[in-house]
Chains A and B, each alone.
Chain A
Amino acid sequence: MNSQATVERAARSRRQVDTAPSTLAQKLVARAAGREHVAQGEIVTCQVDLAMFHDSSGPRRLGPMLTDLGATLWDKNKVVLVIDHHVPELDDESRRIVRDARDWAKSLALPHVYDSIGISHVVVPQHGHIRPGMFCVGSGSHAATGGAFGAYVFGVGATEMLGVVSTGKIWLKVPHTIFMRWSGRLTVGVSAKDMALEMLGRFGLNGAQYGAIEYCGEAVQALGMSERMTLCNMSSELGAQTGLIAPDLTTHTWLAATGKQRIEVDRWASDEDAAGTFHHFDASTLAPQVALPGSPANVRPVDDLEPTRIDVAYIGACTGAKIGDLRAAAQVLAGFQVASHVKLLIAPASECDRWLAERDGIMRRLIEAGATILPSACGACAGHGQAIPEGSTVVSSTASNFKGRLGSTHTRVFLASPYTVAASALRGVICDARDVLA
């Protein structure tokens, strides 16, 4: 990597609060806190614009706690429920969890419920709920996916969500911003997932120390929304509270397609002289990266790996099965057959992604190559790893490979981009997709 050392830029001292330069994260928090300006490190109370929760940590935990407290939802129009974890229902426990979620939504006449049509972090923006300037919380560490739209979105646990849905407010320590500036352009067979893994390899699991990451630079601006979402999605692996990308024409065009008009984009950008930590990367020299089993930060360039025979290739989750990911996989797989000993499993992130992939002939190419298509749900990445045999070696486009994450603790999980996963499925060993695409 042609990368430079970290540059710490000190904040210029300014007397006038209203002229103090701010990062995008500061501006988003200031708006939610009803302030002109907030300083990094101060603790503020923010008004929440949107609270998203899913069946696993949502109703089953929130419902009884709300009843117990005698509290009600602060604003049900600002609440979104997505049933994505325990679907399709496989046993009595999951049937009960999903039934409770549906009953609860019905009893409260929740206006925004997305039942078994995909993964929350993808479905919520696809339905236009997340727009530039908003301040949102979600259940699940990957909620920061929504930061790709220039909104402040972060994950919270069930109890904290209870506080939000009963009061509409949440406390926040105004984060430090870490600017990840990517110059140049990604080359063929290299994707946003490789950028995320490269940063993880360099900074580790707590590299961001619960700050806000802002991804910027030419290479980031060149990414479509699907890949921008991948980048922001893995901010939690880097230990960030949120990951942001300043909205632009790409954001505007994507949101317009969801029916959201008059999106304000110009206002939501960091001031040039705002204080933060700056890291520089060159996208044009980035090679495909792989995280070895045990930790998403256990990263090597794919070409440095020992020959690794795989049993399963998995393309799934909010991280790795959106339309851009499916397109990447299809580009590698088109016209080929996966190796005879490899099981290629693909769980599109949402019905919308699946529909787009069908429309563009991508699904057909994936199936013809030998892929088994699984339901659009969190699936194996939420521990429902029945499709993945115990003790197998898996290369996966998901975000996390902690022991036990894909079900069994005896499964070895390598993380990689959809290109790398698809190429590895063809060759039966983890390999560089550029060799297949060449």
Chain B
Amino acid sequence: MRVWKLPDDVDTDQLAPASSLKFEIEVMARHCLESVRPGCAGKVERGDVIVAGENFGVGSSREEAAAVLVYLGVAGVIAPSFAGLYYRNAFNVGLLLLTCPQASLIEDGEAIEFDARAARVTRINVSAPHDQLMCQPIPEFLLDMVDAGGLVPQLRTRLAQH
């Protein structure tokens, strides 16, 4: 998993610009992060991870700002804090977020792995014990939601049971 490092306060207009919202997700994804890290959207590979600064996802309620990252294949976002509304939206659309107070130690381009249920990030090229970064535990039902691919697949299962 390659790390793409982003600064503090990455906002929803940087993730999904307002002017691209009327289009479908392919178009939005092309403009994702262009104002903060131009060209990044075209280079992200499936399974890559975003490591950001404080308050990731601040701004509007548009869940497209989380959905574009799922579309681009981002495996998860690791940051010391997230905007509250973005946190809800991300899990709803199947994007895993890990709240990691020491996220800033991780470097751009670094290889990492994470275990969401253990709330732990492992830095591959760092020797123990400094390779382990602990994250805040995620409630079980939110982990289930991400595993299911988001709220929609989960609702489908639930409605089918009734």
Contacts and interface: CB of A to CB of B under 8 A. Distances in A.
A147 interface: no
Interface stretch (A125-133, A151-159, A272-280, A359-367): A151-159
Interface in A208-227: 209-210
A61 to B, nearest CB: 9
A403 B14 CA distance: 8
B116 to A, nearest CB: 18
Contacts of B88: 156-157, 160
B61 A157 contact: yes
B93 interface: yes
A86 B59 contact: no
Nearest to B142: A171
Contact of B83 (A43, A69, A86, A206): A206
* Chain B residues touching A, range: 35 or more
Interface string A140-163: 110100000000001111111011
B59 A210 contact: no
Contact of B61 (A43, A139, A206, A407): A139
A206 B9 CA distance: 9
Contact of A141 (B9, B59, B92, B159): B59
Interface residues of A, number: 46
Interface in A276-303: 295
Contacts of B63: 57, 157-160
A111 interface: no
Contacts, number: 119
A93 B18 contact: no
A222 B66 CA distance: 40
A94 B66 CA distance: 23
A362 to B, nearest CB: 29
Nearest to B139: A43
A141 B61 CA distance: 5
Given A171-B141, A236-B85, A155 B61 contact: yes
A86 B159 CA distance: 32
Contacts of A239: 55, 58, 83-84
Nearest to A211: B84
15 contacts: A56-B22, A86-B22, A97-B22, A155-B61, A157-B61, A157-B85, A157-B92, A157-B93, A163-B92, A206-B55, A239-B83, A239-B84, A403-B35, A404-B17, A404-B35
